[in-house]
Amino acid sequence: MASRRLLLATPALWLSRDARAARWPRMVVDGLGREVTLPAPPRRIVAIFSSNVELLAAIGALDAIVGVEDFTRFPPQAAALPKVGGRLGFSAEAIARLRPDLVVMTPARNAAHALSEPMARIGVPVLVITHRDLAQVLGNLRLLGRATGQDGAAEALVGRLEARLAAVATRLAGRAAVPVFLETSSTGRGVFGTVRPGTYTADALALAGGASVFPDLSAVGPAQVSGEAILRADPAAYLLAGRADQLAEVPRRTGFQGLRAVREGRLHLVARAQFLIPGPRVVDGVEALARWLHPGAFAT
């Protein structure tokens, strides 16, 4: 009976593939508002920046990736792929040698400016992904799904992620947000990086039931605050995106012993991959942080 069901299903699968192929070429609009035409489902993708690799892998397009940047570590299989550059810049020649039929990048470290024109000269479509907020991160899954022919997988994934976020929202309904400070970096000279309002990281904090004690940071310039400003803000919880030894150092900083979060032992390590990389793991971060900030909401 199982064999009969398989035989009956196979023609439908062929039809689905044929129907999907018939929708090519297709046009998508990227994060910069550019119309990008894909003549056929891409089979050789160069993905610059780890977030784009993660997004592609999440919708089932990992096997099509043939090149990444130097610091790509997730998924683990991607670390062994050929490298096309890193913090010092990207090589159009190295990309061209991989014979890509699509390059996916983010407009950081001058990548889009440096690579779009060389790729256009050799006829390789370039898709630039931007991720201003969490809604756009989820939208990027759909965008890449359409660009790669993984429409169904992308839509199903977004549906699952949205359902998980909705479940957290239901748990936290009616609960007051906890004033938090999220440290993302330190200069070592009393200045600390943090989250800027209107970003996917700020959205993740809010969805987890937190509220940044610096909601009015400027939209331009570094997202940094002084130690004195943190002391004045006196957060109820202190979050650090980094290592355990860095978190242990917080109470030893001058004046920080008086912080409410330190006095009450409300120091918490969050995973950088879940709050500082715009991909599906942000939802994991929301769930984990919500449980820590509001344990009573998850008691049953």
DSSP character string of 243-297: -HHHHHHGGGSTTGGGSHHHHTT-EEEE-HHHHTS-STHHHHHHHHHHHHH-GGG
| 172-195 residue pLDDT tens | 999 999 999 999 999 988 999 999
Beta bridge partners of 90: 85
The residues spanned by each domain of the chain are 23-156, 174-298
What local confidence, expressed as pLDDT, does residue 4 receive? 33
CATH of region 174-298, choose from 2.60.120.10, 3.40.50.1980, 3.40.720.10, 1.10.10.1150: 3.40.50.1980
pTM value is 0.88
Taking the C-alpha atoms of residue 256 and residue 233, their distance in angstroms, rounded to an integer, is: 12
On whether the CB atoms of residues 84 and 95 are closer than 8 A, the answer is: yes
**Crossing angle for the helix pair 200-207 and 281-293, to the nearest 10 degrees:** 40
The reported pLDDT for the residue numbered 13 is: 37
Other Cβ atoms less than 10 A from the Cβ of 180: the count is 24
Q: What is the DSSP letter of 177?
A: P
Mean pLDDT by 10 residues, the chain (300 residues): 35 39 86 95 96 97 96 91 87 94 87 84 94 96 97 98 98 98 94 95 98 86 90 98 96 96 98 96 98 94
DSSP characters over 120-176: HHTT--EEE---SSHHHHHHHHHHHHHHHT-HHHHHHHHHHHHHHHHHHHHHHTTPP
Q: Which CATH class is domain 23-156?
A: alpha beta
| Confidence (pLDDT) at 16 | 40
Q: Please give the structure tokens belonging to residue 193.
A: 């990086």
Q: 189: helix, coil or strand?
A: coil
Residue 192, beta-bridge partner list:
186, 225
Q: What is the pLDDT of residue 108?
A: 77
SS3 93: helix
CA 225 – CA 232 distance, rounded (Å): 11
In the three-class reduction of DSSP (H, G, I as helix; E, B as strand; rest coil), residue 44 is classed as: coil
pLDDT of amino acid 22? 52
